Structure 1
Amino acid sequence: MEHNLNVSIYVDADACPGEVKNMILEYISLADITFVATYNHYSPNSDQTLWTYIDEGSEAVDLYILNRVKPGDLVITQDIGLASLVLTKGVYAISPRGKEYNQDTIETSLSFRYLYQEERKKGRFHSGPKKVSKSELDAFSARLIKFLNENAGKK
């Protein structure tokens, strides 16, 4: 497998929708891609060269990714906390729903995350995340292609 980019893509795969994972795989020839998940999400059918499974633990996947990313890499995560940490390392971060995380807005996102967690503790917002929509998949695809295009030929 030959890669055209000198950057890596790390996917926080525990909560990443299957449609997004499949979309990422379409670009496997262009970048070094690693899906990171806990053993709870292990599948013997997954391509073991692309997947890294780690022990269950609070923030274990986040720490694994954080300790390996380098400036210019891409992290795909729904975790705003992880996104805020990798941004400080010069890493590009997007959500599986197509949201681009950036230094200008991450503090606001972290504040909303905190407020949402407080509301959940009070018994509100019981349901999990909604199914990823077609427009969100399109937004994700556009962000991923933008990243790949901007980093093409950077060896």
Structure 2
Amino acid sequence: MTVYVDADACPVKAEALRVAERHGAEVLYVANGGLRPVDHPLARMVYVPEGPDEADKWIAERAGPGDVVITADIPLAAKAVAAGARVLNHTGEAFTKANIGQKLATRDLMADLRAADPFRQGGGKGFGKADRSRFLDALERELSAATRR
């Protein structure tokens, strides 16, 4: 069981390790660089080449049944779900076979809307304590379920 963290802009890196440690799961932080190494026996930094989606490609090639992927990238989430991995975003929302199609369609629609109005500003909401708490609960559930497989 491995926890793959799409780490470039992930606000819950420390929390992922804390929960994974309780389950004895290895945590791989995958990034293009710029992250401080983590000194923990269950954690490993994986630096991929510079370029768009290189971390996503690396994770997608490796994640599978029994693994958990943490990402906000919906195309990566779709690939990981298709490979049988459990997938969460940083707010604890699960991506599943039942909802990933809708998530991809919504992502594409929003991209089209943003392209149609280049002067639109904002749109994202902040990340707060409630989001962090939901993530911790969701990761605990996912790792417990992956252990029972």
Regarding TM over 0.5, the answer is yes
Question: Residues 47-99 of structure 1, C-alpha deviation per residue, up to 9 Å, x if partnerless?
Answer: 27521111111210111001111212100000011011111111100001110
What are the ranges of 5 or more consecutive residues in structure 1 without an aligned counterpart? 1-6
Equivalent position of 1:15 in the other structure: 9
**In terms of mean alpha carbon deviation, does 83-92 or 132-141 score higher?**
132-141
User: 1:21 is matched by which residue type in structure 2?
Assistant: K
Tell me which stretches of 4 or more aligned residues in structure 1 moved more than 3 Å: 124-130, 151-154
- Contact 1:120 1:126 (8 Å CA) reproduced: no
RMSD: 1.9
**Alignment CA distance shift 1:146-1:81 (3 Å):** same
Q: Using the alignment, how far apart are the partners of 2:28 and 2:143 within structure 1?
A: 15
Matched, 1:27 2:49: no
1:25 to partner: Cα distance = 2.1
Q: Secondary structure at the match of 1:14?
A: coil
**Alignment CA distance shift 1:127-1:55 (3 Å):** farther
Q: Secondary structure at the match of 1:111?
A: helix
Q: Using the alignment, how far apart are the partners of 1:42 and 1:21 within structure 2?
A: 11
Q: Percent identity?
A: 30
User: 1:42 is matched by which residue type in structure 2?
Assistant: L
Matched, 1:69 2:60: no
Q: Using the alignment, how far apart are the partners of 2:19 and 2:28 within structure 1?
A: 12
In the superposition, the TM-score normalised over structure 2's length comes to 0.86
- State the number of aligned residues: 143
1:136 to partner: Cα distance = 1.3
What are the ranges of 5 or more consecutive residues in structure 2 without an aligned counterpart? none
In the superposition, the TM-score normalised over structure 1's length comes to 0.83
